[in-house]
Amino acid sequence: MQLTRTRVGISRKAIAAGIATALLIGGIGSISAEAATKKPAAKPAAKPAAKPAVAKELNEFLNPTCPAKPTTLTIASAVILENPGGKADQNNADEFMKKCPNVTVKFIGIPSNNLPEKLTTMAIGGNLPDMYMHFTSFTGKALSMRIFEDLIPLLGQDYVDGFDPLFLSEAIQNGKLLWAPWVGIPSAVLYRKDLWEKAGNPAFPKTWDEFLAVAKKLTIDKDGDGKIDQYGWALCGLPNGSCAGRFNLVVLNSGAYPLKAADAGGFVTGLDKPGYITALDLFRNAVKEGQSVVPPGFTSTGYPEASAQLATGKAVMMTTGPHSMGIIVTANPELKGKLAAFPLPTANGQKPITTLGQHGYAISRNSKNKDVAVQYIKFMLSTKQILVYNDLEYRLPSRLKAQKDPAVASGMAAGFVNALKGEIWSDSTASYLGSITNQQIIDFSDALQGVKSSKDIQDASVKAVKKLIADNA
């Protein structure tokens, strides 16, 4: 299956030109450049002479230009509510306010699963904050509502070229930079090294069947009281967007896909592929009564609960990004150094597919403080500041210079960074992507219930998604 990174409405020439330009100035050596499915154009042998002071300033930017009068910069953020990630967001604000005492940074905390709805409401009400957090799944809606400011003229092409091209390929749409990428969380299978060793160091599963077999091996009665107290897989079964994302990873690695741009224009779904049944069967079989490899209460288990299951040793594996390690180590500091990751299994031995899982900050088109917002973005993306977030939650920085820091790709994060060597999937930009996600939520919930057959679930899903595509054509 060939993944396409080209979206409807964007000329391929524009993307290729943008990526080639980024590489000429940004340089090769980023972690993701070698992993991207679309290999960027080769760097020319003779690089133009760099201007050291400007290059340093582009990446460090620790002395922002402060506004002349007192300004309040409002930022809608999901990260500010998270622990420990919120400390990075707050740190950026605190440090910026020290540099510019006449600026007050005010966060509007919105849980990530509610962010699209809340931003939509704010946009309709005409009261979007100066900056808002952007996840790739929101791209279609942002394009449809036209709520963002193009950041290329605001940040400057030189600055934009300092981003990892992989991040830019999702953030640039129709030649415009919709948001300033901050960090990414490539997905893999996170596991407890200590519990893995206790189980005899089984080989990393390459297929979903092997994954289920390993999970069964890891599902044991630790204390001999006749009750299972360690499960193989912390499955995220709560009917929300973040669990749907994890289900989607299984779908992608089973040979199916939710939605992608069709070659002839429009969008097409791959939920009718046999791989979708494979994914549904995996979920169904993982929770089969009497043979479950998943802790009970999986329909109430969201991403924080699943992370807690790993932290407490209730489960051993979890499909997630490196940020879960931040939560786990915060909950159980003894686990520092005892977590690692391996690539996602696949249904038929194909190259594993992962997602970049990036987010960043966009500037609202109607913001009256765009200059201050630009200064804030450049400040928070400086190497020193961006590595605070990486240190807390192991998230991959978007800036090429920050990625060179040895801590970024080593230790517990290595497995996640290596996941980028596989295929990378990007969300489609259809404005109704949320509806597709909702359908997938219904599908994996049905699979977990075990009442309907996977074929029936697939048939109903394909019918609903095709109707969505037709209604929105």
Partner 1 sequence: MKSAFAKRESRSGYFFTGPAALLMLGLVVYPLLYGFFISTQKTNLIDTWKFVGFKYYRQLLTDPAFFATLKTTGLFAFCVVLGNLCVGLLLAVIVNQKIPLANFFKVILMLPWLFPEVVVALIWKWLFNPLFGLLAHVLMITNVTKVEYDLLGKESSAFAGVVFVCVWKGYPIVMLMMLAGMKSIPQERYEAASIDGANKWQQFTNVTFPALTPIILVSAILETAWWFKHFTVIWLMTAGGPSGSTKVVSIDIYMQAFTDFNFGKAAAESVIVLIILMSVSFIYYKVLRDETE
Pair 430, 267: CB distance under 8 Å: yes
332 interacts with partner 1 by CB under 8 A: no
Q: Which of 290, 326, 299, 291 is nearest to 310 (CA)?
A: 326
Q: Which stretch binds partner 1 (CB under 8 A): 176-184, 200-208, 235-243, 341-349?
A: 235-243
242 interacts with partner 1 by CB under 8 A: no
Identify which of residues 418 and 439 has a Cβ nearer to partner 1 in the complex: 439
Q: How far is the CB of 116 from partner 1 (least distance, A)?
A: 7
DSSP secondary structure string, 421-470?
TSEEE-----TTHHHHHHHHHHHHHHHHHT-S-HHHHHHHHHHHHHHHHH
Other C-beta atoms closer than 10 Å to the C-beta of 109 total 14
> Could you give the CA distance from residue 182 to residue 135 in angstroms, rounded to a whole number?
10
Q: How far is the CB of 444 from partner 1 (least distance, A)?
A: 10
How many chain residues are in contact with partner 1, going by CB under 8 A? Answer: 35
Q: How far is the CB of 296 from partner 1 (least distance, A)?
A: 4
> Could you give the CA distance from residue 208 to residue 258 in angstroms, rounded to a whole number?
19
Q: How far is the CB of 433 from partner 1 (least distance, A)?
A: 10
> Applying CB under 8 A, which of residues 84, 86, 156, 239 lies at the interface with partner 1?
239
Q: How far is the CB of 280 from partner 1 (least distance, A)?
A: 13
Identify which of residues 114 and 157 has a Cβ nearer to partner 1 in the complex: 114
Identify which of residues 295 and 422 has a Cβ nearer to partner 1 in the complex: 295
Q: How far is the CB of 243 from partner 1 (least distance, A)?
A: 11
Identity of the residue numbered 263 = D
78 interacts with partner 1 by CB under 8 A: no
> Could you give the CA distance from residue 472 to residue 429 in angstroms, rounded to a whole number?
13
What phi and psi, each to the nearest 5 degrees, are found at residue 407? -70, -20
> Could you give the CA distance from residue 258 to residue 265 in angstroms, rounded to a whole number?
16
Pair 315, 232: CB distance under 8 Å: yes
Q: How far is the CB of 140 from partner 1 (least distance, A)?
A: 9
Q: Which stretch binds partner 1 (CB under 8 A): 200-208, 247-255, 293-301, 336-344?
A: 293-301
> Applying CB under 8 A, which of residues 1, 28, 108, 145 lies at the interface with partner 1?
145
Identify which of residues 188 and 433 has a Cβ nearer to partner 1 in the complex: 433
Identify which of residues 240 and 382 has a Cβ nearer to partner 1 in the complex: 240
Helix, strand, coil distribution of the chain in percent, nearest 5: 45, 15, 40
Structural element, H or E, at residue 193: helix 193-198
> Applying CB under 8 A, which of residues 18, 64, 116, 352 lies at the interface with partner 1?
116
> Is the link from the previous residue into 295 a cis peptide, with omega within 30 of 0?
no
> Could you give the CA distance from residue 210 to residue 346 in angstroms, rounded to a whole number?
10
283 interacts with partner 1 by CB under 8 A: no
> Applying CB under 8 A, which of residues 32, 74, 112, 120 lies at the interface with partner 1?
120
- CA terminus-to-terminus distance, the chain: 24
Among positions 122-141, residues that touch partner 1 (CB under 8 A) are 123-124, 141
> Could you give the CA distance from residue 441 to residue 184 in angstroms, rounded to a whole number?
23
Q: Which stretch binds partner 1 (CB under 8 A): 104-112, 291-299, 379-387, 414-422?
A: 291-299
What phi and psi, each to the nearest 5 degrees, are found at residue 339? -120, 150
Name the DSSP class of 207.
Answer: B
* CB neighbour class for 68 (10 Å; exposed up to 12, middle 13-18, buried from 19): exposed
> Applying CB under 8 A, which of residues 111, 175, 297, 337 lies at the interface with partner 1?
297
Identify which of residues 141 and 323 has a Cβ nearer to partner 1 in the complex: 141
Among positions 426-465, residues that touch partner 1 (CB under 8 A) are 431-432, 434-435, 437-438, 441-442, 445-446, 448-449, 451-452
149 interacts with partner 1 by CB under 8 A: no
The contact set with partner 1 (CB under 8 A) reads 116-117, 120-121, 123-124, 141, 144-147, 237, 239-240, 295-300, 431-432, 434-435, 437-438, 441-442, 445-446, 448-449, 451-452, 468
